[in-house]
A and B are shown apart, each in its own frame.
Chain A
Amino acid sequence: MNMPLGAPDIRRAPTKIDQVSSTLPTGIGLRAAHHAALFQERPAVGFLEIHAENYMTDLALRIALAAREHWSISVHGVGLSLGGAEPLDRDHLSRLARLVADIEPLLVSEHIAWCRQDGVYLNDLLPLPYTEEALVVLIDHVDEVQEKLGRQILMENPSTYLAFQHTTLSEGEFLAELARRSGCGLLLDVNNLYVNQRNHGLDPLRTFTEIDAVTVKEIHLAGYHEVVRDQGRILIDDHGSPVSDAVWSLYGTALQHFAAPTLIEWDSCLPALDVLVAEARQADLYRQDADVMPATSGMTALEPRR
């Protein structure tokens, strides 16, 4: 089922990800605090996304495999440090490959960021300058991961709290080049675009037009909070609150450009499961308005996958 991926035919290879329907109802993150409620209530969400690093123990894997009986799974990595100048942690990549082989997820994604230096994990998604040099590092690492996994991965645009003077490419140019030259897909995080707009004055509408619409294979939505420090204020992408009105509005605009499965991310200050499900339903309503999914699919329980 998995195709070996190698440049330069990579973009034409019929990978599993191409089979993912853009009309798949909106998904939610699978978080430990919701395990019990999720299996009990079996909400009709489109898919569940797991953080790869949290499911690399036998116990957690069993939970993910149990969830897979009822929902499609997406694997979202946070620890590969693909934007790091140092070589990838091969042990960690092997663990990811095992997880992906065990779960056979619908989607696999990682971040345009780095998180490791001299072998130390800094436990954060750290910003990159948008330069040709950083692009080449990312492309090499994305190639390595796609080779190892034997499938396409999606790369997510980050939210950042600082920008670099020597950046030469716009966010959209950087994303577009990464997708074009590595063959990866894009995971467009609309909240991150909004956070960067507020934090750095970047224009998300420009990003929408700079990237190739067919490369966008997933959309993320999440909440942020605003911090005021002395003379300035900054938005922190903490995934700890409902999607804001401004981000819903930007999502509506994004749907005029892209048709892709959407995920509600919520990682801190977790609410009850039904709050997340309601957010997912809200996204489905936006997508129905944008005519990118059938009007009933958000309300229908999926058939068990096997």
Chain B
Amino acid sequence: MTGLAVLQRSFAAALRADPAGDYGMVEGGLAQAIAATSGDLTAGQRLGIYRNHHRLSLAAALAAHYPSVRAVIGDEAFDQLALDFVAQFPPRDARLACYGADFAAFLAAETRLSDLRYLADVARLDWALIQAQIADDDRAVLAPDFAAFGEDLSAIRFRLHPAATLIRSYYPLLAIRHLALSAEGQAETVDLDAGGCDLLVLRQEGSPAWLILDEEARTFLSALEMGIPLGDAATLVATDRLPQLMARYLLSGGFSLM
């Protein structure tokens, strides 16, 4: 490895090291490589500037992507979890807007949050709403397209539009989100046993939106999401319900042709 590669590996390791460590404890070779100016900041303090920026800027990106998670648990707890996530799952894409896709899974596995089992679902909804905003464009199937498909629709297969997400939660997710994001001081509570919810989060007319799904709609859309042909998916729901499910959900802008 070249001198520059060694230096950068060592520098990156110092940036990502445990922040609880002493700023003065910089690895020997790296500390020696940093020019010292007497009466000035130490090598450790100088590296600390970069380390702080690395951690705090990425934690801030997560905060922007997960506003309702932050509102549920508070700024201090969120920031600590975000910094832990940054340490364990740093970005592998230069686009900051893409950072944090795994945060919900991270929260689900976090033992400190065992009393807040719904939090990962809150995160999934936050992320789905971000995707509804920024995911790439793709041609969604809409009603006029459908009319052009002709007689036999049974073999057509669909996939979720890149901006759409199906979310299933065993908690009253929308009520939790509403409470978290509503103005402070409102004496409102959420009954966590009030039942779950199923959502199709999608982009409609350029803006993030969600549709609340009942059990039959969820079954139908989940089957389509898995690539099951329309004819087979239709057998899972009541025949007289099918036109409404197709018009309201399948042709909502949330699905594309496979």
Q: Which A205-238 residues have a C-beta within 8 angstroms of B?
A: 227, 229-232, 234, 236
Contact B54 A162 (CB under 8 A): no
Contact between chains at A231 and B90 (CB < 8 Å): no
B179 interface contact, C-beta 8 A: no
Which of B4, B35, B58, B133 is in CB contact (< 8 Å) with A134? B4
Q: How far is the CB of A17 from chain B (nearest CB, A)?
A: 23
Complex partner residue of A162 from B43, B57, B97, CB under 8 angstroms: B43
**Which of A81-89, A149-157, A244-252, A256-264 touches B?**
A81-89
- Which of A20-28, A120-128, A277-285, A294-302 lies at the interface with chain B? A120-128
Give the complex CA separation of A7 and B45 in angstroms. Answer: 42
Stretch at the interface among A33-41, A42-50, A51-59: A51-59
What number of residue pairs across chains A and B have CB atoms under 8 A from each other? 130
Q: Interface on chain B toward A: helix, strand, loop, or mixed SS?
A: helix
Interface flags, B221-235, vs A, CB<8A=1, else 0:
000000000000000
* Residue B118 at the chain A interface, CB threshold 8 Å: no
Interface residues on A, range: 35 or more
Interface presence of B2 (CB below 8 A): yes
Contact with A along B48-65 (1 / 0, CB 8 A): 011001100110010000
CA separation between A57 and B99, bound complex, in Å? 13
Question: Which residues of B, 21-53, contact A by the 8 Å Cβ criterion?
Answer: 32-35, 37, 39-41, 43, 45-47, 49-50, 53
Chain B, Cβ-Cβ closest to A133: B4
B175 CB–A CB distance under 8 Å: no
Do B35 and A165 touch (CB < 8 A)? yes
Contact present for A165 and B33 (CB under 8 Å): yes
For B7, list chain A residues within 8 Å (CB).
129, 164
Query: Known contacts A53-B94, A57-B97, A117-B9; can you find 17 more A-B pairs with CB under 8 A?
Result: A56-B95, A57-B135, A58-B135, A59-B133, A60-B134, A92-B93, A114-B8, A122-B12, A122-B90, A126-B50, A131-B3, A131-B4, A133-B3, A133-B4, A162-B43, A162-B46, A164-B35
4 closest A-B pairs (Cβ-Cβ)?
Answer: A79-B94, A117-B12, A85-B5, A162-B46
Q: Which residues of A contact B (CB under 8 A)?
A: 53-54, 56-60, 78-80, 84-86, 89, 92, 95, 114-124, 126, 128-129, 131, 133-134, 137, 161-167, 200-201, 227, 229-232, 234, 236
